[in-house]
Chains A and B, each alone.
Chain A
């Protein structure tokens, strides 16, 4: 069972690295398109940044449930509990992924196949949930995430982006290596 899943994931990894019909590697085409989306964002409104939208959306919804919540929270006063460019951006990301999945050529794999310590389905789900909590808490403390600090920050040669990238990769590499090593029996 586990070997089967590992094979599936190895196969999936190969597909991603495989050249597309045009002959250019997929990472080059899609990485390049993300770069073009970035240029479009800079030319129209502001550089890409995903994580601000989470507290904005939470603030907007919480303020609907408990009116006055947004006004009572200094952080929401700072970033605004509103549906603006940022929340529309994350709505677009979900729609874009859905579009890619629907059109021919998009992968439709519905689960994570990587063997880690969290092999059982419930443990894997809990890990996704807890990891999601940590990335947003960390990103908001740092003032940006992979997109705001790295895709945008490093692209603008901002020192804040380089520091965030170094910090995130330090713990990211350590944690991922440890989890995968343990899961694969100390290999």
Chain B
């Protein structure tokens, strides 16, 4: 096994373990989360994003040789349409591509079914790609834009401020939830 393979496996085990402990093997965490009846999903996601945000900017600033960042291109139509389809699927299944695997690993039947459906959806996309690419992916591709470059702001301070904003939202959600329970 190559080093890259081993690194992928170790990262996946960490990621899957944390997702499972956070409760994502059960589809209702996502369903209720999207309907704003339970804030677990949002709190876990926003915490993870905030930590990753500070880490990514910190690595890029202090150890750029170790910052393997990968900003995705902003091709507006594909991301918009793909995102809209994704949202419907996420609400129906109660899973996203990662948490479906957590359901599978946890022995949940619906996780297995979502993974099988996902493999079929991926196969359908492979076949549809030549037809979709010129319509939704090539036009209106604005390139690999970031918030700080677009606004001409320095990277690390912007990331710290944004992470603090996300942290603030999490604290607010937590209080809101505590109030709703009483």
Residues of A within 8 A of B (CB): 9, 12-13, 16-17, 25-51, 54-55, 57-59, 62, 73-76, 83-101, 105-114, 116, 118, 124-125, 127-177, 179-181
Q: Which of B38-88 contact A (CB under 8 A)?
A: 38, 40, 43-53, 55-56, 59, 63, 66-76, 78-88
By Cβ-Cβ distance, the 8 closest A-B pairs, closest first, are A92-B12, A131-B93, A35-B51, A96-B16, A167-B83, A134-B89, A142-B82, A132-B117
> Which of chain B's residues 90-114 have a Cβ closer than 8 Å to chain A?
90-111, 113-114
Known: A31-B44, A62-B123. A12 touches B26 (CB 8 A): yes
B144 in contact (CB, < 8 A): yes
Given contacts A31-B22, A34-B44, A158-B71, whether A128 and B113 have CB atoms under 8 Å apart is yes
> 6 A–B contact pairs at CB < 8 A?
A89-B11, A97-B102, A128-B113, A131-B94, A135-B97, A147-B97
What per-residue 1/0 map shows which CB atoms of B109-138 lie under 8 Å from chain A? Answer: 111011111111111111111101100110
Partner pick for A158 among B113, B144, B177, CB 8 A cutoff? B144
Contact between chains at A16 and B40 (CB < 8 Å)? yes
Least CB distance, A131 to chain B, in whole angstroms: 2
User: Once bound together, how far apart are the Cα atoms of A76 and B126, in whole Å?
Assistant: 7
- Bound complex: CA of A56 vs CA of B154, how far in Å? 36
CB A162 to nearest CB in B, in angstroms, measures 7
> Is A48 touching B15 in the complex (CB atoms < 8 A)?
yes
**Alpha-carbon distance between A128 and B95 when the two chains are bound, in angstroms:** 8
- Identity of the chain B residue whose Cβ is nearest the Cβ of A69 in the assembled complex: B126
Q: Report how many residues on chain B are interfacial, defined by Cβ distance under 8 Å.
A: 130
In this assembly, does B31 line the interface, its C-beta being within 8 Å of a C-beta of chain A? yes
Q: Which residues of B contact A (CB under 8 A)?
A: 4-23, 25-38, 40, 43-53, 55-56, 59, 63, 66-76, 78-111, 113-130, 132-133, 136-137, 142, 144-148, 150, 155, 158-159, 162, 174, 177
CB pair A129 B29 closer than 8 Å: no
Residues of A within 8 A of B47 (CB): 27-28, 31-32, 34-35
Contact between chains at B89 and A131 (CB < 8 Å)? yes
* Cβ-defined contact, B35 with A132, below 8 A: no
Residue of A with least CB distance to B110:
A128
Q: Could you say which of B37, B63, B96 has the most chain A C-beta atoms within 10 Å of its C-beta?
A: B96
User: Are A141 and B82 in touch, CB under 8 angstroms?
Assistant: yes
Partner of B53 from the list A33, A131, A154 (CB cut-off 8 Å) is A154
A74 to B133, CA, bound (A): 10
Contact in complex: A26, B21 (CB < 8 Å): yes
Q: Are B125 and A137 in contact (CB under 8 A)?
A: yes
Interfacial chain A residues near B85, Cβ < 8 Å:
134, 137-138, 141, 171
Partner of A84, one of B8, B94, B107: B8
- Write the chain A residue with the least CB distance to B103: A97
Could you tell me if A33 and B18 are in contact, using CB atoms closer than 8 angstroms? Answer: yes
Interchain CB contact (< 8 A) of A160 among B43, B63, B79: B79
